[in-house]
Structure 1
Amino acid sequence: MARPRSPKKPSSPPPEPALTGEPDARERLIAASSRVLAERGYDATTVKEVARVAGVNQGLVHYYFGSKDALLLAVTRAHSAQYVAELKKLRDETPLEDLADTSFAWGERHLRASPEQFRLRYELFALGLRNAELTSAVAELQAEGDLEVARTVARYRGGEASRPEPLDHHYAVIIKSCFDGLALQALLDPKFDPGPVYALLKQLVLSSVDGPGSGKAPARRGTRSQARRGTPKPRRRPSTRPRR
């Protein structure tokens, strides 16, 4: 007579890594995901492979992130946090008169040294457009990057880096959008050299920004600076009436 089967126990989420002897499991998963995603691309990456490279149970991927989309978001957030920290350090430690040259050179080096981070960034952009659940998170990540660049612009203009003004944010969006576009073109076309374009971009931006080395006095408030420049008054035309 066959023995009756015992009822299956309801599945439960994996225990906390701290209880399994893996307190750094989440960080290991992010590091492994960054490597696997960069090597294989988003579509070819599997949760199983990420867990294998990280050396953890596959269930921990779902426990911490829930999905591969969320895992990519976590990886990109980690890269963004590193980017923000490096830019803040550069801003704090670079003399004001060297800040523009150093910042643009750092942005170019970042592209050449870490193209895989930009590749994952664009994968996330595409997901943000397709997956409504990720759209707001991707937009928030973009805003965080804009804010850090705006703080750098504010310091260059002689303002307070902790309180960038609307004009600082406008410049930041222009600069970061151009950087993203140049990085994308460099990834798609190995023959493309972004160096000369970076130089021209810096020249175009600095020609309109009040700051050291621009030939203009630094302005703390963009609105006042614009008001000072104002619209040139029309010159009086010489009279064509004959003199008596």
Structure 2
Amino acid sequence: MARPRSGKTPSSPPPEPAAPGVPDARERLIAASSRVLAERGYDATTVKEVARVAGVNQGLVHYYFGSKDALLLAVTREHSQQYAEELRQLREETPLEQLADTSFAWGESHLRESPAQFRLRYELFALGLRNPELTSAVAELQAQGDMEVARTVALYRGGDAAKPEPTDMHYAVIIKACFDALALQALLDPKFDAAPIYALLKRMVLSSVDGPGSAKPARRGTKGQARRGKTPARRRRVPRPPR
């Protein structure tokens, strides 16, 4: 092969621009990890297999994430961001009087349609307890999810202008804890029917949260009793003495 007259070797051709819609290496690794982790579980998943499925060099796993633990965190964070975006869209598009039913149905559908993603959440919870380097990141991920649910509760309770209050966050933690527990039991027992329990949970929550149309008319009483929030006591009928 003839060399150029200048005596220099020819430079490498410039890289071709990425085609539209083709994810980069980091995104391919997250997508591949989600698939491999869901199929094999955390312990059986190897960095080598993730890189093979992603079609990238194995060293890029360590370059972008540093460890398999951090890779699982990135996958779960990606799923959580998708859930948060779906919940925000649900709040924007759902009429207020339908928000409670739609929100509970949306949460229940995730278990039926994405059980593997719940399994990854539990794997991450276990890692957060074992690996101190991940503990704060896992706790932050939980807090972000709680806040999205709290915003939904606040919207149902007070309308568009309502901001989450401490009580809304308390409801959010309870709701998420119940959903996680029901999802875990459903994963462990394929015969477990969570539908009636979801329905009961919804009734319990809605019975204690004042939402649209839930205000009850006050009972009529005297002015003083109305100010004190009391109802008038019945008068006892005194029998007349015999004539």
Q: When the two structures are superposed, what TM-score results if normalisation uses the length of structure 2?
A: 0.80
Give the total of aligned pairs: 211
**Matching of residue 95 in structure 1 with residue 122 in structure 2:** no
Give the C-alpha shift of residue 216 in structure 1. 4.8
Provide the residue aligned with 2:223 in structure 1.
none
- Hey, what does 1:222 align to over in structure 2? none
- The secondary structure found in structure 2 opposite 1:207 is helix
Q: CA deviation at 1:158?
A: 1.3
Quick one: distance in 1 between partners of 2:16 and 2:59?
A: 14
Cα distance in 1 for partners of 2:105, 2:213 equals 16
Would you say 1:117 and 2:114 are equivalent positions?
Answer: no
Give ranges in structure 1 of 5+ residues lacking alignment: 1-17, 218-230, 240-244
192-201 vs 22-31, which moves further: 22-31
Structure 2: unaligned runs, 5 residues or longer = 1-14, 218-227, 237-243
Following TM superposition, by how much is the alpha carbon of 1:161 offset from its aligned partner in structure 2, in angstroms?
Answer: 6.7
CA gap 1:206/1:41 in 2 versus in 1, 3 angstroms: same
Q: Which residue of 2 aligns with 1:192?
A: 192
2:128 is aligned to 128
Kept in 2: contact 1:206–1:214 (CA 8 A)? no
Asked whether the equivalents of residues 30 and 74 of structure 1 are also in contact (C-alpha less than 8 Å), the reply is: yes
Per-residue Cα deviation, 1:118-166 (whole angstroms, up to 9, x for no partner): 0000000000000011000000000000000000000000155773111
Cα distance per residue 1:15-68 (max 9 Å; x no partner): xxx999797000000000000000000000000000000000000000000000
**Post-superposition CA distance 1:176-220 (Å, at most 9, x none):** 110000000000000001100000000000000000254559xxx
Residue 211 of structure 1 corresponds to 211
Task: Find the aligned partners of 2:189 and 2:24 in 1 and give their Cα distance.
Answer: 38
The equivalent residue for 1:108 is 108
Amino acid corresponding to residue 51 of structure 1 in structure 2: A
Partner of 1:163: 163
Contact 2:26 2:64 in 1 (8 A): yes
**1:59 and 2:59 matched:** yes
d(CA) in 2 for partners of 1:214, 1:123:
40
| Distance verdict in 2 for CA 1:103–1:189, change over 3 Å | same
Query: Would you say 1:139 and 2:147 are equivalent positions?
Result: no
Cα distance change on mapping 1:19 and 1:43 into 2, 3 Å: farther
Q: Which has the larger radius of gyration?
A: 2
For 1:50 and 1:235, how far apart are their aligned partners in 2? 72
Q: 1:6 matched to which residue of 2?
A: none
1:11 alignment partner in structure 2: none
Instruction: Output the CA distance in 1 between the equivalents of 2:190 and 2:104.
Output: 21
Task: Write out per-residue CA displacement over residues 49-88 of structure 1, whole angstroms, 9 at most, x where no aligned residue.
Answer: 0000000000000000000000000000000000000000
CA 45–209 in structure 1, closer or farther in 2 if over 3 Å, else same: same
Instruction: Could you list the structure 1 runs, at least 4 aligned residues long, displaced by more than 6 angstroms after superposition.
Output: 18-23, 231-239
Q: Deviations over 1:87-112 (max 9, x none)?
A: 00001100000000000001111110
Rounded to whole Å, the distance in 2 between the matches of 1:114 and 1:23 is: 22
Q: Match for residue 84 of structure 1?
A: 84
Q: 2: distance between equivalents of 1:77 and 1:192?
A: 28
- CA gap 1:158/1:234 in 2 versus in 1, 3 angstroms: closer
